[in-house]
């Protein structure tokens, strides 16, 4: 993971410092859930879309 | 000694930066489910529900609407919610990789117009609803209703300020009550309709043919699908703001599909649709009183209105958060931005009728921009960038940043958004609901979104290659496959 680039503002402003600190801290722990593969989520979404398309198809064939 | 509220405000202001794992508020399935349910099932759902029977076949309308919400929600989750979950930033920051650092201003503008628009509409509905309930309970004549509307509207403004000032956690806690209560109310209302009309009769009636939008049943299904898809796609600017606070990957799909899409939106809108077609109005003041009698009915209406306030709070919260993207407000305090976000709603209190007749149109047009942006951000993240963003560069506001493009704007994305908006309005007028013949096959939002995504991919491939991959952000992802 790329750490804070040189082009980020470097001021004494607390918000700038907080931003830099968070960007440096972000991604440090690879075991947290948000850093895991999103593939299972995409598969789950595909199942929902598949079910919706199936229902739409049945409705169009049966009711239209 | 530090002021805890001010500290929380600073924390909220600072949280445009990525949320870290320990700061994520939605740690359980229920907390995320109920927040999404409360947002989806608030008072504005009666406007959508009331439109479903107009497609001409209520049963077909409900099925099409349900399919549309599920498909639209899945697209929004893919486009913005999952990147926001991964990187801990909101929809606007996620969009910067595709639109450019300054180009994302179009998303900020859309979010503010749509957020304030729908918050205003909901505030007007709640104020008028409470005034009607109070006038009915007190047997007051019609002349005193407008002053009561104004008084209720003005009372709600400081309440919204106080709730939103304390940040998302307080709204989340309130939604732990509002979500289940709205879910229970929708189920009770459906059970009452079922008891009165029976299962065979409940789904049978339709609006008279002369009042239907179309007699073509395929087009009727397309209308219902369109209502569902557009309702879900209009969540695009807000979903990043919620998913950046989601802790666990296993809660990324179930709560939004069940709570936001099926229960919050579809069930609540279906109850309003069935009530509209059986009892003549989608307005809960009419049908809850007709179903349960004047006393219980008015109490239930009061509860529905009260439970809509947390959803208005969420919209004000999103607007106040997005306002930090505006340069003059970038370093303003959280309290200042909450005041600026709630102040326009005071105007609504003075003009509720005007708001209901005009602002819905403005908010509807405000949401148009997100149909194309949803497609653009989706393919930019998953296809061009292979699911990876350079997080620090989302915050670099000069030409050294990898998402700067030309003058801070990705003109390819801007051109695609403009083309998508024009194509949408060519196919379908979301205000008059007039539609071209091609609309009958898949509505307008889905084809426009798919077309925008393809156009963006092609243009990025051509123009970025010609530019010699001058933009390092694009070079990293090897545009041109």
pLDDT digits (tens, 9 = 90+) for B312-359: 999 999 999 999 899 888 888 899 999 999 999 999 999 898 888 887
End-to-end CA distance of chain B: 57
Contacts of B310 (CB under 8 A, 6+ apart): B38, B42, B163, B171, B174, B175, B178
Sign of the Cα torsion B462, B466, B471, B473 reads: positive
End-to-end CA distance of chain A: 53
Q: Residue B45: its pLDDT value, please?
A: 86
The residue-averaged pLDDT of B166-191 equals 92
Q: Where are the domains of chain A?
A: 1-30, 36-64
Looking at the complex, does the CB of residue A39 fall below 8 Å from at least one CB of chain B?
Answer: no
CA atoms within 13 A on the CB side of B34: 21
Q: Say if residue A27's pLDDT is above 80.
A: no
Q: Say if residue B98's pLDDT is above 60.
A: yes
Domain count for chain B, please give it: 1
Looking at the complex, does the CB of residue A17 fall below 8 Å from at least one CB of chain B?
Answer: no
Distance CA B356, CA B221 (A): 27
CATH at residue B278: 1.10.4160.10
- Is B381 a domain residue? no
The string of pLDDT tens digits covering residues B445-454 is 999 999 999 9
Distance CA B108, CA B177 (A): 30
- Is B239 a domain residue? yes
Residues B233, B247, B251: CA angle, nearest 5 degrees: 55
How far CA B443 is from CA of B16, B227, B296, B437, B472, in Å, comes to 36, 9, 40, 10, 38
The residue-averaged pLDDT of B55-62 equals 93
Q: Residue B11: its pLDDT value, please?
A: 42
Q: Residue B218: its pLDDT value, please?
A: 94
Q: Report which of residues B51 and B7 the model is more confident about.
A: B51
pLDDT tier, A24 (very low <50, low <70, confident <90, very high otherwise): confident
Nearest CA in chain B to A63: B60
Q: Residue B358: its pLDDT value, please?
A: 80
Distance CA B471, CA B478 (A): 11
Q: Which residues of B35-66 are buried (b: 16+ CB within 10 A; e: fewer)?
A: bbbbbbbbbbbbbbbbbbbbbbbbebbbbbbb
- Is B213 a domain residue? yes
Q: Residue B465: its pLDDT value, please?
A: 63
Q: Report which of residues B161 and B327 the model is more confident about.
A: B161
CB B67 within 8 A of CB A56: yes
Which residue is listed with tokens 């007190």? B138
CB B459 within 8 A of CB B412: yes
CB B421 within 8 A of CB B372: yes
pLDDT tier, B8 (very low <50, low <70, confident <90, very high otherwise): very low
Looking at the complex, does the CB of residue B97 fall below 8 Å from at least one CB of chain A?
Answer: no
- Is B1 a domain residue? no
H helix intervals, B351-399: 352-354, 360-379
Q: Say if residue B106's pLDDT is above 60.
A: yes
CB contact under 8 A, B74 and A45: yes
Q: Report which of residues B11 and B216 the model is more confident about.
A: B216
Chain B residues with CB-CB distance to A60 below 8 A? 218, 221
Closest Cα in chain B, distance from residue A44 (Å): 7
Q: Residue A11: its pLDDT value, please?
A: 59
The string of pLDDT tens digits covering residues B134-157 is 888 877 776 778 889 999 999 999
> What 3-state DSSP class applies to B246?
strand
Host domain of residue B43: 10-102+116-353
CA atoms within 13 A on the CB side of B428: 26
CB B122 within 8 A of CB B43: yes
B67 forms beta bridges with none
CB contact under 8 A, B387 and A13: no
Instruction: State chain B's mean pLDDT as an integer.
Output: 88
Q: Residue B1: its pLDDT value, please?
A: 37
Q: Residue B477: its pLDDT value, please?
A: 34
Closest Cα in chain B, distance from residue A31 (Å): 10
Q: Say if residue A3's pLDDT is above 70.
A: no
- Is B481 a domain residue? no
Looking at the complex, does the CB of residue B141 fall below 8 Å from at least one CB of chain A?
Answer: no
Distance CA B481, CA B468 (A): 14
Q: Residue B96: its pLDDT value, please?
A: 96
Distance CA B122, CA B345 (A): 10
Q: Say if residue B476's pLDDT is above 70.
A: no
The string of pLDDT tens digits covering residues A29-60 is 778 888 899 999 999 999 999 999 999 999 99
CB contact under 8 A, B398 and A36: no
CB B410 within 8 A of CB A20: no
Q: Residue B142: its pLDDT value, please?
A: 67
Q: Say if residue B419's pLDDT is above 90.
A: yes
The residue-averaged pLDDT of B388-396 equals 91
> What 3-state DSSP class applies to B137?
helix
- Is B445 a domain residue? no
Which residue is listed with tokens 């939008």? B213
Q: Provide ipTM, 2 decimals.
A: 0.89
Q: How many CB pairs under 8 A join A and B?
A: 126
Q: Residue A5: its pLDDT value, please?
A: 52
Q: Say if residue B4's pLDDT is above 60.
A: no
- Taking Cα atoms as reference points, which of B55, B76, B95, B40 lies closest to residue B449? B76
Chain A residues with CB-CB distance to B85 below 8 A? 34
């Amino acid at each position: 993971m790329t750490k804070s680039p040189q082009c980020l503002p470097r001021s004494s402003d607390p918000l700038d410092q907080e931003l830099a600190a968070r960007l440096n801290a972000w991604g440090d722990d690879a075991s947290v859930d948000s850093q895991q593969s999103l593939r299972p989520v995409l598969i789950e979404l595909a199942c929902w879309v598949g079910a919706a398309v199936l229902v739409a198809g049945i409705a169009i064939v049966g009711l239209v | 000694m530090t002021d805890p509220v001010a500290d929380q405000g600073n924390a909220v202001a600072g949280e445009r930066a990525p949320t870290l794992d320990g700061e994520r508020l939605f740690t359980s399935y229920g907390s995320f489910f109920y927040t999404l349910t409360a947002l989806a099932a608030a008072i504005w759902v009666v406007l959508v529900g009331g439109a479903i029977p107009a497609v001409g076949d209520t049963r077909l309308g409900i099925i099409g609407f349900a399919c549309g919400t599920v498909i639209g929600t899945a697209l929004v989750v893919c486009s913005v919610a999952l990147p926001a979950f991964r990187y801990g930033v909101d929809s606007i920051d996620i969009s910067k990789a595709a639109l450019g650092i300054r180009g994302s201003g179009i998303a900020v503008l859309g979010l503010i117009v749509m957020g304030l628009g729908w918050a205003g509409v909901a505030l007007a509905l709640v104020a008028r609803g409470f005034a009607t309930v109070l006038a009915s309970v007190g047997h007051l004549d019609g002349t005193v209703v407008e002053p009561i509307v104004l008084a209720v509207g003005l009372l709600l403004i400081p309440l919204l300020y106080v709730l939103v000032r304390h940040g998302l956690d307080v709204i989340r806690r309130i939604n732990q009550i509002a979500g289940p209560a709205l879910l229970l109310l929708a189920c009770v209302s459906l059970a009452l309709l079922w008891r009165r009309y029976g299962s065979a009769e409940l789904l049978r009636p339709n609006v008279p043919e002369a009042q239907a939008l179309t007699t073509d049943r395929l087009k009727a299904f397309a209308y219902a699908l369109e209502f569902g898809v557009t309702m879900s796609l209009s969540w695009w600017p807000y979903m990043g703001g919620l998913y950046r606070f989601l802790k666990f990957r296993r809660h990324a799909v179930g709560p939004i599909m069940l709570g936001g899409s099926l229960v919050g939106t579809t069930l609540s809108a279906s109850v309003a649709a069935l009530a509209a077609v059986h009892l003549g109005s989608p307005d809960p003041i009419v049908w809850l009183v007709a179903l349960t009698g004047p006393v219980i009915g008015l109490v239930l209406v009061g509860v529905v209105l009260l439970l809509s306030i947390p959803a208005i709070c969420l919209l004000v919260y999103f607007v106040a958060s997005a306002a930090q993207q505006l340069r003059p407000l970038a370093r303003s305090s959280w309290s200042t931005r909450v005041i600026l976000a709630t102040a326009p709603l005071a105007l609504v209190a003075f003009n509720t009728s005007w708001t209901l007749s005009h602002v819905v149109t403005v908010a509807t047009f405000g949401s148009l921009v997100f149909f194309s942006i949803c497609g653009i951000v989706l393919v930019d993240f998953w296809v061009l960038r292979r699911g990876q963003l350079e997080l620090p560069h989302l915050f670099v506001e000069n030409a050294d940043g990898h998402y700067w493009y030309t003058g801070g704007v990705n003109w390819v994305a801007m051109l695609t958004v403009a083309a998508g908006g024009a194509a949408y309005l060519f196919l379908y007028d979301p205000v008059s609901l007039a539609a071209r013949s091609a609309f009958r096959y898949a509505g307008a939002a889905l084809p426009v979104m798919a077309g925008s995504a393809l156009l963006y991919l092609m243009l990025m491939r051509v123009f970025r290659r010609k530019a010699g991959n001058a933009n390092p952000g694009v070079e990293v992802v090897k545009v041109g496959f």
